[in-house]
Amino acid sequence: MRSVKMKGRTVEDAVEAALQVLGAKKEDVDVKVLSEGGGGLLGIGAREAEVEVVERGNVQKHAERLLQEILDKMGFVAIAKFTGTQGEYIELEIKGEDMGRIIGREGATINSLQYLLSVMLSKSRGERTRVLVDAEGYRQRRQSNLEKRAEEAAAEVVSSGKELTLEPMPPADRRAIHMALKDHPKVTSFSVGEGEERRIVISPKK
């Protein structure tokens, strides 16, 4: 997905110049006006218009290419592949060697890769873009473990009648716990804390 910033006497002139550089048609790009320019007074202090023109592309392939570049720069022997979409999420899978290092302790590395890719895509597209990055079925195994953790914690809360605060978790893990308990007849869950210390509290329903 290419982009170019261009100046011109008018916005239209700047856009036309950018299209020529990209070799693209106007219907195939997004235009962001950075400055509409101005004529100044009697031609003095005139400012040129400036635009940023972004070539529309296949966001899935763009995500795949970006993730591959990250893996290569980190020295991992692995292949990134787009596998589908889930709601607003773009799903990608990593295959190859170094899976243990790529996943990291409790998913720390793969979660960082996922966050970095999301930030890079969002910046290049000018809008929030969500991704899910998996490797060797790690996400499904993690999901199963979190659902089991949620069931065990809920049973403890029901038995004791007291709130239970879990250990700090990343956003994806907290969401899995909340989803596992959202229809539970006897407990409810909510998050407290900030940043890396944010954690889930499971409480008896009143």
Sequence ranges of the domains in the chain:
3-55, 59-136, 141-204
154 neighbors 187 (Cβ within 8 angstroms):
yes
pLDDT digits (tens, 9 = 90+) for 75-124: 999 999 999 888 888 999 999 988 999 999 888 899 999 999 999 888 87
Name the CATH superfamily for 141-204.
Answer: R3H-like domain (3.30.1370.50)
d(CA 131, CA 152): 29
d(CA 110, CA 187): 31
Could you give the residue ranges of the DSSP H alpha helices within 50-201?
Answer: 59-73, 99-103, 108-125, 138-160, 171-181
CATH C-level class of 59-136: alpha beta
d(CA 14, CA 8): 4
Helix (H, G, I), strand (E, B) or coil at 199: strand
On the question of a common fold for 59-136 and 141-204, the answer reads: no
Q: Is the pTM of this model over 0.75?
A: no
d(CA 136, CA 166): 27
pLDDT digits (tens, 9 = 90+) for 4-31: 899 998 999 999 999 998 887 887 777 8
